[in-house]
Chains A and B, each alone.
Chain A
Amino acid sequence: MNVRVGPWSVRLAPRALLVTALLVVAGFCVTVAALSTGEFTVPVPDILDALFSQGTPVAELIVGKLRAPRVVTGLLVGAAFGISGAIFQSLTRNPLGSPDFIGFTAGASTGGIIAVVSGGSAATIAGGALTGCVVTAVLVYALAYRGGVQGYRLVLVGIGANALLVALNSYLLTRANINDAATAGAWLTGSLSGRGWDHALPVALALLVLLPVCAYVSRPMRMIEMGDDAARAMGIRVEVVRGAALTAGVLLSGVATAGAGPVVFVALAAPQLARRLTRSPGVTMGASALMGAVLLTGADLAAQRLLAPTQLPVGVLTAAIGGTYLVLLLRKDRH
Chain B
Amino acid sequence: MATPARLSGTGLTLAYDQRIVAAGLDVTIPDESFTVIIGPNACGKSTLLRALARMLKPRTGAVHLDGSVITSLPSKEVARRLGLLPQSSLVPDGITVTDLVARGRYPHQRLMRQWSRADETAVAQAMRATDVTDLANRIVDELSGGQRQRVWLAMALAQETPILLLDEPTTFLDISHQIEVLDLCADLHEEGRTMVAVLHDLNQACRYATHLIVMRDGRIVAEGEPAEIVTPDLVRQVFDLRCEIIPDPQSGTPLIVPEARRRVPA
Q: Is the CB of B116 within 8 A of A9?
A: yes
> A10 to B159, alpha carbons, bound, how many Å?
18
Q: Is the CB of A216 within 8 A of B17?
A: no
Q: Which residues on B sit within 8 Å (CB–CB) of A236?
A: 75, 106
Taking the complex as formed, is A194 at the interface, i.e. its CB lies under 8 A from any CB of chain B? Answer: no
Q: Is the CB of A281 within 8 A of B86?
A: no
Q: Is the CB of B113 within 8 A of A234?
A: no
Q: Which residues on A sit within 8 Å (CB–CB) of B84?
A: 229, 233
Q: Is the CB of B75 within 8 A of A235?
A: yes
Q: Is the CB of B77 within 8 A of A233?
A: no
> A93 to B93, alpha carbons, bound, how many Å?
11
- In this complex, what residue of A is CB-closest to B78? A235
Q: How far is the CB of A225 from chain B (nearest CB, A)?
A: 6
From B87, B90, B102, B159, contact of A226 by CB (8 A): B90
Taking the complex as formed, is B176 at the interface, i.e. its CB lies under 8 A from any CB of chain A? Answer: no
Q: Which residues on A sit within 8 Å (CB–CB) of B104?
A: 234
Chain B, range 53-88, C-beta contacts under 8 Å to A: 53-55, 74-80, 83-88
Chain A, range 1-33, C-beta contacts under 8 Å to B: 2, 4, 7-11
Tell me whether A234 and B112 are in contact in the complex, defined as CB-CB below 8 angstroms, given that A11-B102, A227-B90 are known contacts: no
Chain A, range 219-233, C-beta contacts under 8 Å to B: 219, 222-223, 225-227, 229-230, 232-233
Q: Is the CB of B90 within 8 A of A225?
A: yes
Taking the complex as formed, is B111 at the interface, i.e. its CB lies under 8 A from any CB of chain A? Answer: yes
From B88, B90, B93, B113, contact of A7 by CB (8 A): B113
Q: Which residues on B sit within 8 Å (CB–CB) of A216?
A: 111
Q: Which residues on A sit within 8 Å (CB–CB) of B156?
A: 233
Tell me whether A229 and B89 are in contact in the complex, defined as CB-CB below 8 angstroms, given that A223-B103, A235-B77 are known contacts: yes
Taking the complex as formed, is B42 at the interface, i.e. its CB lies under 8 A from any CB of chain A? Answer: no
Taking the complex as formed, is A282 at the interface, i.e. its CB lies under 8 A from any CB of chain B? Answer: yes
Q: Which residues on A sit within 8 Å (CB–CB) of B88?
A: 227
Q: How far is the CB of B128 from chain A (nearest CB, A)?
A: 19
Q: Is the CB of A233 within 8 A of B111?
A: no
Q: Which residues on A sit within 8 Å (CB–CB) of B250?
A: none
Q: Is the CB of B115 within 8 A of A235?
A: no
> A216 to B88, alpha carbons, bound, how many Å?
27
Give the number of residue pairs across the A-B interface with Cβ within 8 Å.
87
From B17, B83, B115, contact of A233 by CB (8 A): B83
Q: Is the CB of B79 within 8 A of A234?
A: yes
> A282 to B75, alpha carbons, bound, how many Å?
23
Tell me whether A282 and B92 are in contact in the complex, defined as CB-CB below 8 angstroms, given that A147-B17, A232-B55, A235-B76 are known contacts: yes
Q: Which residues on B sit within 8 Å (CB–CB) of A227?
A: 86, 88-90
Taking the complex as formed, is B95 at the interface, i.e. its CB lies under 8 A from any CB of chain A? Answer: yes
Q: Is the CB of A232 within 8 A of B54?
A: yes
Q: Is the CB of B92 within 8 A of A225?
A: yes
Q: Which residues on A sit within 8 Å (CB–CB) of B50?
A: 229
The range of chain B's interface size is: 35 or more
Most chain B CB inside 10 Å of its own CB: which residue of A225, A227, A229, A234: A234
Q: Is the CB of A235 within 8 A of B79?
A: yes
Q: Which residues on A sit within 8 Å (CB–CB) of B99?
A: 281
Chain B, range 195-246, C-beta contacts under 8 Å to A: none
Taking the complex as formed, is B248 at the interface, i.e. its CB lies under 8 A from any CB of chain A? Answer: no
Q: Which residues on B sit within 8 Å (CB–CB) of A10?
A: 114-115
Q: Is the CB of A279 within 8 A of B115?
A: no
> A289 to B53, alpha carbons, bound, how many Å?
37
From B55, B114, B116, B120, contact of A229 by CB (8 A): B55
Taking the complex as formed, is B107 at the interface, i.e. its CB lies under 8 A from any CB of chain A? Answer: yes
Instruction: Give a binary string over A192-221; 1 marks a CB under 8 Å from any B CB, 0 the rest.
Output: 000000000000000000000000100100
Q: Which residues on B sit within 8 Å (CB–CB) of A225?
A: 90, 92
Taking the complex as formed, is B249 at the interface, i.e. its CB lies under 8 A from any CB of chain A? Answer: no
- In this complex, what residue of A is CB-closest to B159? A234
Q: Is the CB of B80 within 8 A of A235?
A: yes
Q: Which residues on A sit within 8 Å (CB–CB) of B107?
A: 234-235
Taking the complex as formed, is B265 at the interface, i.e. its CB lies under 8 A from any CB of chain A? Answer: no
Q: Is the CB of A237 within 8 A of B115?
A: no
Q: Is the CB of B89 within 8 A of A226?
A: yes
Tell me whether A230 and B76 are in contact in the complex, defined as CB-CB below 8 angstroms, given that A223-B103, A281-B92 are known contacts: no
Most chain A CB inside 10 Å of its own CB: which residue of B78, B79, B92, B102: B92
Q: How far is the CB of B63 from chain A (nearest CB, A)?
A: 14
Q: Is the CB of A8 within 8 A of B92?
A: no
Closest 6 CB pairs of A and B: A235-B79, A281-B95, A235-B76, A11-B115, A233-B84, A229-B86
Taking beta carbons and an 8 Å cutoff, which residues of A are in contact with B? 2, 4, 7-11, 93, 147, 216, 219, 222-223, 225-227, 229-230, 232-237, 275, 279, 281-282
**Given A222-B92, A223-B103, list of 11 further CB < 8 A pairs?**
A2-B115, A4-B117, A8-B112, A9-B114, A11-B114, A222-B103, A225-B92, A227-B89, A233-B85, A236-B75, A282-B95
Q: Name 26 interchain pairs, CB-CB below 8 A, sorted by A.
A: A8-B113, A10-B115, A11-B114, A225-B90, A226-B89, A226-B91, A226-B92, A227-B90, A230-B86, A230-B89, A232-B54, A232-B75, A233-B53, A233-B83, A233-B85, A234-B79, A234-B104, A234-B107, A234-B159, A235-B75, A235-B77, A235-B106, A275-B93, A281-B92, A281-B93, A282-B93
